[in-house]
Amino acid sequence: MKLKLVVLLILWCAGIVPVFADNPPSGGQQQGFGLQATIFSRVQQTNESLVNNYSVIANYPPTPGDIYTLTINSETTPEIGNATQQVISYPIQLSEDMKLDVPFIGIVDARGKTLPQLKDLITTEIRERLPVQYVNFLLTTPAEFNVFVYGGVESPGYITATPLTTVIDAIGLAKGFKEGASYRTIQLVRNGRPQVLDISRFYIDADFASNPRLQPGDMLYVPEAQVVATIEGQVLYPGVYELLPTETLQTLIDLAGGFAPGALTNRIEVARVDPRGAHSVITVSADQAASFQPKIGDTVTVPSTSVNAEMVSIEGAIFGKPRSGTGPVVVPSDPVRLDFPYYPGISVLDVLDDVGGPTPYALPNEEYVVERASGKSVPVSIDTLWKTRDLSLDRVLEPGDHIVVPMETLKVFVTGQVPTPGALPYSNETTVATYLLLSGGILQNTGDPKGIFSVKFDGTRTKLNVNQTVAPGTIIYVAKKPLFETDQAVQNFLIITGWGTAVIAVLTTLVNFIFLIQPSVANVLNHLGL
């Protein structure tokens, strides 16, 4: 197990096993509406721009490496009928021990002082000691230091920061968030102590504490979001939002700006896929929203009072379009959801004809219709209805009814020379290499990296490339190395050879014994006269 973890860590460092998706976010994270889209795009486009007049920053913390300029305009000794003036500037750098060596004053300790406090101290001391007309103390070049940003960012590693760089600036300099990254649980590690930041509060409430400036030694970690849900329909800002584990459906509605005019608030639909791959639609009222907790991947739909009364819908293992019955057809490996205009007399079979019927991945005897009027789930034998077209099994729909055709959990099977053979969840983007890694990798001593096949039940093999994707139900087989394939034959040969050697030894002994006793037998026969 330790070896496996080390190998996975090495592969991750090499970029072979990504923790976050390498593709740019899609849907609400890059386009459309919603706070998440806003945050992702704003942070991704962030370019740090430093303020020229640093003196106006009241809470700027003096930082080792800062370069300040002391400017003095002093009078010289008056000459005959004339007086001369001289402007002198002195660059001063703040040392690691927070000390400034200031001309005419000596050592000044900047520890615990803001920039305005430090300026006031130095200019006052200069005026008390020198006959000056003008004195000023300015920060001309802020200190620069490295901050390590890692986790769910497009370009993890060190970025160059100044005391003016904020957390959002740093993430922008690391090329922004990756898909699935959390913007509400960012960890700022300072002096060995992590603090959790929710930068959405900076955009929503102008909470500057959620977007602090960085200091030398800081590290930033962007974890993966734990709960990401989509809300659509009659809300002000539909889109994709991150929720904290304790937040509720009411939080999601609030993040989306609340209900839009015409929202049917007592029939909010939550489409969900459970860990087994079964699909369900949960109906929640606005009164229940404060206690209902969304889960990762939920899609919340707030219907309209006008649209809802005129539509029926279907979701799950369906083809998504009518089928002619001739020619090949692509079977969707993901659930499909479609809406259809309601008309009096529309039935389940009518809708099935419009979507091409259930796919081979549909779970028979688990289909049902969610009645909008009652909220009940009524079983319907859709698979049998589709195959037999028995109208006694059909059902007339009412406005807002929702047909659900659950989809079986799709699997890919890995067997052969891997540590943990078995079934794995199917994904149309997962490659053979990923399935092998999820099964523990190829056994080092016995597995053949060049012997990876898909195997049919009749025993035929097809060579696989580790970078290709496979269809659901594929059996991936890792063969033994050629040396180990001949082991059994070698063992059988040795067993047979050993047995033959033993037989030959017995026969040899028997022959030698016969030859040994042969003279004695001859003497006895002669004595008997035979």
Contact 199, 39 (CB under 8 A): yes
What single letter denotes the amino acid at residue 471?
A: A
Q: How far apart are the first and last CA of the chain?
A: 83
Say whether domain 54-77+84-141 belongs to CATH 3.30.1950: yes
Name the residue ranges covered by the structural domains of the chain: 2-49+145-222, 54-77+84-141, 411-485, 486-530
Task: Write down the pLDDT at residue 61.
Answer: 86
Output phi, psi for 287, to 5 deg: -70, -25
pTM: 0.49
Flag the least confident range among 116-125, 321-330, 410-419: 321-330
DSSP 8-state code for residue 347: B
Contact 11, 17 (CB under 8 A): yes
Fold of the CATH domain 2-49+145-222: Outer membrane lipoprotein wza fold like (3.10.560)
Residues contacting 388, CB < 8 A, separation 6+: none
Q: What 3-state DSSP class applies to 135?
A: strand
Instruction: Work out whether strand 85-93 and strand 99-102 pair parallel, antiparallel, or are unpaired.
Output: unpaired
Bigger pLDDT: 488 or 319?
319
Bigger pLDDT: 362 or 49?
362
Quote the Cα angle for 3-5-9, to 5°: 115
Contact 385, 368 (CB under 8 A): no
Task: Write down the pLDDT at residue 288.
Answer: 92
> Bridge-partner residues for 407, per DSSP?
362
Q: What 3-state DSSP class applies to 252?
A: helix
Which CATH code of 1.10.357.20, 3.40.50.2300, 2.160.10.10, 3.10.560.10 fits the domain covering 411-485? Answer: 3.10.560.10
Q: Matching CATH topology for 2-49+145-222 and 54-77+84-141?
A: no
What single letter denotes the amino acid at residue 272?
A: R
Bigger pLDDT: 107 or 202?
107
Task: Write down the pLDDT at residue 4.
Answer: 41
Task: Write down the pLDDT at residue 23.
Answer: 42
Predicted confidence band of residue 437 (pLDDT cuts 50, 70, 90): very high
Indicate whether 528 pLDDT > 60.
no
Percent of the chain with pLDDT over 70: 76
Phi-psi region of 174 (alpha: psi -120 to 50; beta: other; left: phi over 0): alpha
Of 341, 259, 263, nearest to 303 (Cα)? 263
Rounded distance between C-alpha atoms, residue 464 and residue 449, angstroms = 11
Task: Write down the pLDDT at residue 344.
Answer: 81
176-189 pLDDT, tens digit each: 888 889 999 999 99
Predicted confidence band of residue 331 (pLDDT cuts 50, 70, 90): confident
How much is the average pLDDT of 440-456? Answer: 91
Residues in the chain: 530
Query: Which spans in 361-480 are helix H?
Result: 382-388, 432-438
